[in-house]
Amino acid sequence: MVTDFSFLMQTMAWPLVLLLAWFLAERFYELWRIPRVSSYVAVGLLGGLLNLPGLTGDVPGLPFLANVALSLVLFELGYRINLRWFRHNPWVLLLGVVESSVTFGLIYAVTGWFDLAVDVRLIIAALCISASPAGIVRVANELRSAGQVTERVLHLCAINCLMSVLALKLVVGYWYLSTSGDLVLAAFGSIHVLATSVAVGALLGVAVPWLLRQRGSHERSVTVVFALAVLLLTTMSYGLKLSPLLAALTFGIVARERRVHLTNAQRDFGTAGDLLSVFLFVYIASLLNWADVGTGALLGALLIAVRAVSKVGCSLAAARLSGITERKGLLTGLALTPMSAFAILLLEQSRIYGFAPAVQVLSAMAGMMLVQELLGPLVTQRALMAAQETHVTKEG
């Protein structure tokens, strides 16, 4: 009887926690305009703290489902990237690359003050380049935000994610080379994964719009087909040990260039996308170990400060050159604060594929991740509101 009750609690844990997360998020957004994703994270953190049966620990299938959820967001982010804008205003592209490089260098330098191995410092620096597409895109859609700051934040977020994946895969290749001395294995772990992930995403980005044009599908069908294509892409990436996140982002960018349009009503992929979003943020938060949060508090505070200075400073320095005011440059840098969901799933993928230092890195960054998950979306929300680019009133 006790065994049956324990099994029942384990099977009920996720549905109950997701329902609670959704209810509290709606309530807190209505009362205090707290971003929904921050409430999802708070519930996940609380579930991890209480060590709820079935919520914590390695549950088969959950990492794959989380990657599907984030891949949908990355596809949507890629779909909002306008490559022609980079040709007309190359300063935005240059800003993204320079800021990513500056962030990597500064983070690597300051982590040298702590007792960390070189490969761990390199991984932390690579992850700190990234911004969280899930947090930024969901907050922007929640506010129906549009304008100069919003578009720059989305484009810079995409560049940060690409640079972060590139840096992490190169670090993985360096680690394989230093531990095994096998150059072929090192190349397979970095260059092959990067090139093949981009190629697979680009192939689907060409093929799926072509199939949609042959069928003359209406808007609802377009959303369903793209969602199924992202699911296929994630499954394929898992089978071939590629990066589903990089492939999904490439898929969205190429599909945008093929001129198949998603309407505003189709953003977030409807009800299924909302459900996966709740799961993603609760799941990511539940991965954090509260014991690691306390021990890594000082490192976490320093990483947050240095990363913020890098992003805000670079955005301010390039503001006039890229065609905006210093105020909008400041708000753009602040809006890039979230980073946790993308970074944690990158680490989880690396761990699953046999990259041993991933566990140590997540432990070292736990304090930073907790703060970034909870407060990052709120900073993005307030930055977009201060830019006066939101189109949501208190009534609707």
Architecture of domain 12-386: Up-down Bundle (1.20)
Choose the weakest-confidence range: 55-69, 253-267, 284-298, 370-384.
Answer: 253-267
pLDDT > 60? residue 5: no
pLDDT tens for residues 63-88? Answer: 888 899 999 999 989 988 888 888 88
Sign (positive or negative) of CA dihedral 357, 299, 341, 324? negative
Reduced to 3 DSSP states, what percent helix, strand and coil does the chain have, rounded to the nearest 5? 80, 0, 20
Predicted pLDDT of residue 16? 87
Residue 188's pLDDT band, with cuts at 50, 70 and 90, is low
At 85, list the tokens: 């804008």
- Selected residue with higher pLDDT from 273 and 320: 320
Choose the weakest-confidence range: 158-172, 243-257, 355-369.
Answer: 355-369
pLDDT tens for residues 274-297? Answer: 888 999 999 888 888 777 777 778
Residue tagged 């999904």 (tokens) = 248
Mean pLDDT of 205-233: 79
Residue 322's pLDDT band, with cuts at 50, 70 and 90, is confident
The one-character DSSP state at 261 is P
Predicted pLDDT of residue 105? 95
What contacts 187, CB < 8 A, 6 or more positions away? Answer: 173
Distance CA 297, CA 317 (A): 30
Residue 181's pLDDT band, with cuts at 50, 70 and 90, is low
Predicted pLDDT of residue 288? 82
The answer to whether the CB of 129 falls within 8 A of the CB of 167 is yes
Within 10 Å of residue 308's Cβ, how many Cβ atoms? 16
Distance CA 27, CA 19 (A): 12
Closest CA to 222 of 166, 182, 261, 268: 261
pLDDT > 90? residue 203: yes
Predicted pLDDT of residue 2? 44
Closest CA to 279 of 9, 16, 18: 18
Cα radius of gyration rounded to whole Å, the chain: 20
Predicted pLDDT of residue 7? 52
Q: How far is CA 62 from the centre of its chain?
A: 17
pLDDT > 80? residue 51: no
At 87, list the tokens: 């040709």
Predicted pLDDT of residue 19? 93
At 268, list the tokens: 């977030």
- Selected residue with higher pLDDT from 216 and 248: 248
The full 3-state SS of 127-144, as one line of letters, equals HHHCCCHHHHHHHHHHHC
What is the pTM for the complete model shown? 0.91
Residue 107's pLDDT band, with cuts at 50, 70 and 90, is very high
What contacts 318, CB < 8 A, 6 or more positions away? Answer: 91, 94, 95, 98, 329
Distance CA 350, CA 354 (A): 6
Residue tagged 């890229």 (tokens) = 322
Residue 260's pLDDT band, with cuts at 50, 70 and 90, is low
pLDDT tens for residues 125-166? Answer: 999 999 989 899 999 989 988 889 999 999 999 999 999 988
